[in-house]
Amino acid sequence: MARQGLKVVLLIGLVSLLGDAIYEGGRSVVPDLFRTMGLTAAGVGAIIGLAELGGWLARPVGGLLADRLGRADLIVRAGYVALFVVPLMALAPSWEVLAVLVFAERLARGLRIPPRDAMLARLRGELGSGIAFGLHELLDQVGAAGGPLLVALGLLLHEGEVRTALLYSLIPYAALLFVLTKLPRYKVERSTDRGEYRGKSLGLYVLAASLNVAGLIPVQLLLYRISQVAGEGSWLIPAAYTLAMVTDAVAAPLLGRLYDRFGTSTIALAMLLSVTPPLFVTYSIEELLLASALAGVVIGAQESIYRAAVAELAGVMKIGTAYGLFGLGIGLGNAAAGLGFGWMMDLGLGRFHLLAYAAAFQTASILLLMRSRRK
């Protein structure tokens, strides 16, 4: 059972690896492309934040469809095929068209993630939930790091031509279409456990995770600041994104092992760490790279142990719906982070203002986390 579970985790991880290579490669240069089209930091933050919100709003729909149709794998396949919109971004004639494609990519991701996580949670065999989600996130972030590196290579080979570099995403897309044919058929299990207290715990936990995300400065805005310092088309922009994805990948399995042993305390530690990136939001490339690395560690926690906790609380409802609710909360947090931090950066507020903003959110998130576990 453990071996079969490991095979499923590795296969779903490979699908995620290729998917992340495609869309994270695109996201690593989209802020720069928006900036060259004349958008401000607040404009970029608003579009990306609202696109994230749209994607997270789609997650309850994806979870509900998985539970109603009983075929999570079909929704997962369709969501990944839709990644063709990423190479199409290279042809966008204006920021409005580019924004539509950014929204489309996030919506497709939102629909596929809850059924994918439901498959991962239920087919992991005897693997601990922290290890299963941590290993998945490791593979996921190998793609997330490789995609921006592929785009960075395109920038170097084509003298900073962002649009040409975006077309390199067609390489992992072709491999993804093949691997999707190997994805196992899976019917979502219907849960009959509707315990009152676990339901309250899940709601409080989702709110805690949402506030944590709202108080973490988005990596996309760190890339925007690097673009201001290093200049248009600089290889440092996708390189910084790659650094964030590498620290994400390294942190996820380690945090997964700690979570299986220490539980909620590991999540609280990640929330506390979320306060640190604003300390390094300056006009120094070195400090901005450090901020990106620290943000990557927290993202690694959000994408591994935060999701593992949902699997443990999902007995009160269908597993796909539970992940959809979690996704909605995270999306609201992402939108708040993009708008809040982007607005403060446009006003020219310093790192200590950003730090105070982050600290307020993280304090609230930790208090709610502790309360959810007491429930």
* pLDDT reported for residue 126: 63
| Beta carbons within 8 Å of 172's beta carbon, 6+ residues apart | 18, 21, 22, 25, 143, 146, 147, 150
Residue 316 to residue 149: CA distance in whole angstroms: 42
Residue 333 to residue 209: CA distance in whole angstroms: 8
Residue 18 to residue 77: CA distance in whole angstroms: 13
CA dihedral in degrees (18, 20, 22, 24; nearest 10)?
A: -160
- Burial-class residue 360 by CB neighbours within 10 Å (0-12, 13-18, 19+): middle
Give all strands (DSSP E) within 12-124, no chain letters: none
CATH assignment, 2-374: 1.20.1250.20
Predicted model pTM = 0.74
Ranges of the chain with pLDDT below 70: 1-3, 124-126, 187-199, 315-318, 374-375
Q: Please report where in the chains the tokens 């089209």 appear, as a residue.
A: 37
* pLDDT reported for residue 297: 94
Per-residue pLDDT tens digits for 315-356: 645 677 788 888 888 878 988 998 899 999 988 888 889 999
Residue 72 to residue 353: CA distance in whole angstroms: 44
Residue 225 to residue 136: CA distance in whole angstroms: 30
Q: Count Cβ atoms below 10 Å from residue 4 Cβ, excluding itself.
A: 12
What the block records as the tokens of 156 is 């170097």
* pLDDT reported for residue 145: 77
* pLDDT reported for residue 141: 76
**Sign of the alpha-carbon dihedral angle for 208, 213, 214, 216:** positive
Residue 326 to residue 57: CA distance in whole angstroms: 10
Residue 122 φ/ψ, nearest 5 degrees = -95, -20
- Tell me the C-alpha to C-alpha distance, in Å, between residue 142 and each of 17, 155, 158, 245, 335: 6, 20, 24, 8, 26
Q: Residue 213 CA to chain centroid, in angstroms?
A: 10
Residue 212 to residue 225: CA distance in whole angstroms: 22
* pLDDT reported for residue 315: 61
